Amino acid sequence: MIAHPGFSFEPLTEHTFGRIDMRAALYIRVSTDEQAREGFSIDAQKRKLLAYAESQDWEVVSVLIDDGYSAKDLNRPAMQELLHKVRNKEIDVVVVFKLDRLTRSVRDLYTLLDEFSRHDVGFRSTQEQFDTTTTMGRAMLGILGIFAQWERETIAERVRIGMEQKVRQGKRHGGKYPYGYDRNGNLIQEEAEVIRRVRELYMKENLSFLKIAERLNQEGKFRRGYEWTRNTVALTLENPYYAGIIRFGSKMKNGKYPQRKRDLRVDVIDVPGDHEAIWTVEEYEEHLRLMRMRSEGNHSRKLDYLFSGLLRCGRCGSTMFGRLTTKRSLRNGEIVRNPYYMCSRRRDSKTCDMPMFRQKHVEHLIMKYIESIRLDRSKIELKQDQTELDRKIRRVNNDLNRIRERRKRWQYMFVNDLISEIELRRHLDEEKEQEEKLLRELQELENQKKEEFVYPAKLLEVIDVWDQIGNQEKRELLLTIFDEITLHTNETNIKGVKNRFFPAWVTVRYK
């Protein structure tokens, strides 16, 4: 038995390779750059695997094909279906043409072998002739897997060097062009205007990412048919490509590329591109500095006042505005100033005797109000019907399921020689393109669902997240839920007592 951290293999039961009526699943994989190579085509692998199964007197119950997928991980449609069949004991043996058709990752290899072993499923490779029923067979398989991973990492390193060289020459290193450009990299003026509008709302109107998304959606300026979200606004503002800069960055320790703040999280290369820019470099650096300042919470005093623009005096109906207390020093030497709110009529004409409220007091009153609703659910109009967003998500998931079923039918037709390999690849390419489009749509909808609040039903979540989010997120949350918060108290002359609040309550009006 070979040792490997986190994995163990139990011997397969005696019947696994001792039967002639074994149910075999043939797994075929072809990556994009291998499709034209002799011996690696789908048709070539299918012929050899069918012949091998016939020589063993095995019954072929399933032929699973991943066309155009890399072996770097297990996130492949046919691979996931194979694992489903293994776990449901629908097959007795998995057969591949070569080991690297299954995976090029040592960790994934051991994961798969462990999964096969736990469900009493054997594994055969027609080229390497390894048998997982013996210790030596598993040891040799592991050694070969190490070389397969080494080959993949070597290829990945060469690709990365090639991409880096392209970037240093001012060329894009691949992938789709961002919103604002067509597939040939030409600027789309209509979309460029929307991108300029994003920056205008952020810089001139001082709106948050969420508020910008809401404004653009209200104006009907959608993002190629999709609604804007907080994330897409932030990613747009952070994208250096719009400033004529091509950026290439390394991966994080988890093997993924960072979406936000890439230049702060990994090493990057920035070079001027030869494409038409939407912003100047100076404009990009200007709003990027502001984004960083805001994320650190020290860009202006406006964020100190969580309830600015929301509070009303319960006595005279006037607005209440925020102020900061005079500076005071803590024992550790830190200088602090605490926000409080004052009736504007009291300030301007002293015709209102409403006392001032510390911000901590207002927060306490809001939490107390929400907690009272939590204890009395009858105060909330709970929505039982599915929202339009839920219906869209359900529709996309149904469409994805239909694609998976169609993919199985195409593979079945190919295995039974009802269609050619060229026809199979054309159908699978079409399904893959549609699947990727639906997955992007699903991600957008799920992002919207995370950001979207159903009022007042979602009000109860405020208590749960309040202490876990920063001031900017708190203010965005309040502005999204409340249209107006009115403060009430019967007190007039208040003497401040440390860590104590005077009797008061709030009434609210929702958006």
Structure tokens at 291: 């984004």
Please report the pLDDT score of residue 446 as a whole number: 77
pLDDT at residue number 430: 87
* CB-side neighbour CA atoms (13 Å) of 459: 25
CB 144 within 8 A of CB 99: yes
| Residue whose structure tokens are 């932030």 | 234
| Structure confidence at residue 269 (pLDDT) | 72
| Predicted local distance difference test score (pLDDT) of residue 262 | 52
Question: Rounded to whole angstroms, how far apart are CA atoms 158 and 152?
Answer: 10
What pLDDT, in 10s, does the model give residues 179-228? Answer: 999 988 899 999 999 999 999 888 887 788 888 998 999 988 988 888 89
H/E stretch holding 361 reads: helix 359-375
Task: In whole angstroms, give the CA distance from residue 468 to residue 462.
Answer: 10
DSSP one-letter string for 210-268:
HHHHHHHHHTT--BTTB---HHHHHHHHH-GGGGTEEEEE---TTS---SSSHHHHS-E
What is the per-residue pLDDT for 384? 41
- pLDDT for residue 385: 40
User: Residues 339, 323: contact at Cβ < 8 Å?
Assistant: yes
Residues labelled as active-site residues: 31
pLDDT tens digits, one per residue of 376-399: 654 444 444 445 777 888 888 888
CA proximity to 508, closest of 483, 473, 477: 483
Percent of all residues in the chain with a pLDDT value above 90, rounded to a whole number: 17
What pLDDT is stored for residue 497 in this prediction? 62
* Residue indicated by tokens 């011997």: 11
Residues 6+ apart with CB under 8 A from 255: none
Looking at residue 359, its pLDDT comes to 92
pTM for this model (two decimals): 0.39
Q: Which amino acid is at 210?
A: L
pLDDT tens sequence for the chain (511 residues): 333 433 344 444 444 444 557 899 999 998 765 554 545 688 888 888 998 888 888 889 999 998 888 887 888 999 999 999 999 999 999 999 888 888 877 778 777 887 888 888 988 888 876 666 566 666 766 676 676 667 666 666 666 666 666 666 666 666 678 899 998 889 999 999 999 999 988 888 778 888 899 899 998 898 888 889 888 898 899 888 898 887 766 455 555 555 555 555 556 677 888 888 998 988 888 888 888 776 654 444 444 788 988 999 999 988 898 888 887 777 766 677 889 999 988 877 788 889 999 999 999 999 998 888 776 654 444 444 445 777 888 888 888 888 888 888 888 788 777 888 788 888 888 888 888 888 888 888 877 765 544 445 567 778 878 877 778 778 888 888 888 999 999 888 877 666 688 999 999 988 7
| Tokens (6 digits) for 377 | 């659910």
Burial degree of 157 (CB within 10 A; 0-12, 13-18, 19+): exposed
Distance CA 316, CA 274 (A): 61
Rounded distance, CA 10 to CA 3, Å? 12
Q: What is the pLDDT of residue 268?
A: 66
